Structure formats: C-alpha cells, structure tokens
Amino acid sequence: MSMNVLIVRIISALIVLAGVLIVLQIWGVDILSWTLFIKLIGTLGVVVLVLGFLLAVKFDFSEHKKMKDENYLD
C-alpha cells in the first residue's frame, strides 16, 4: 500500500470518527463533556488539515519530479 493511500484512509477514518462524535453529541448521548468534545473535534480538524497538506505537497513534488524527468521543466 502506498503512502498516499494510507494517508487518504487515515483522513477518511478521522472524518468518519468526527461525524460519529458530532451525531452522538447532537442526539444527547453523554459520552464526552462539551468542552472535551470541542477540543477533540478541533484536534481532529487540525490533524486532518495537516495530513491533507502533507498529501498535497507530496503529490505536487512527485508531479514536479515527473515533469522534470520528462524534460517539461528545466
């Protein structure tokens, strides 16, 4: 499994986890206090953003290398 696929799967799992936590919190299932819930959702958001940024940078560098190898770039 490539690193890109792994990162996409981790991002997807974190988004699903956040969705489940939000639905449970909205419906009043008292798993977490509101302060802990907000902190957890904020942390998940930051982690997803950082992983998405890393994925975009990795894709951009690999595309740049591919174009350079094919002599499209100097």
User: Could you write out the three-class secondary structure of 45-71?
Assistant: HHHHHHHHHHHHHHHHHHHHHHHHHCC
Q: Is residue 60 part of a domain?
A: yes
Non-local CB neighbours of 44 within 8 Å, separated by 6+ positions: 14, 17, 18
pLDDT, residue 73, reads 58
HSE on the CB side for 6, CA within 13 Å? 5
- The three-point CA angle 2-48-11 to 5° equals 40
pLDDT, residue 58, reads 82
Give 10-residue mean pLDDT values along the chain (74 residues).
87 96 91 92 96 87 66 60
pLDDT, residue 48, reads 96
Whole domain around residue 25: which residue ranges? 3-69
Q: Is residue 74 part of a domain?
A: no
- Record the pTM: 0.75
Count of structural domains within the chain: 1
Whether 14 and 48 have beta carbons less than 8 Å apart is answered as yes
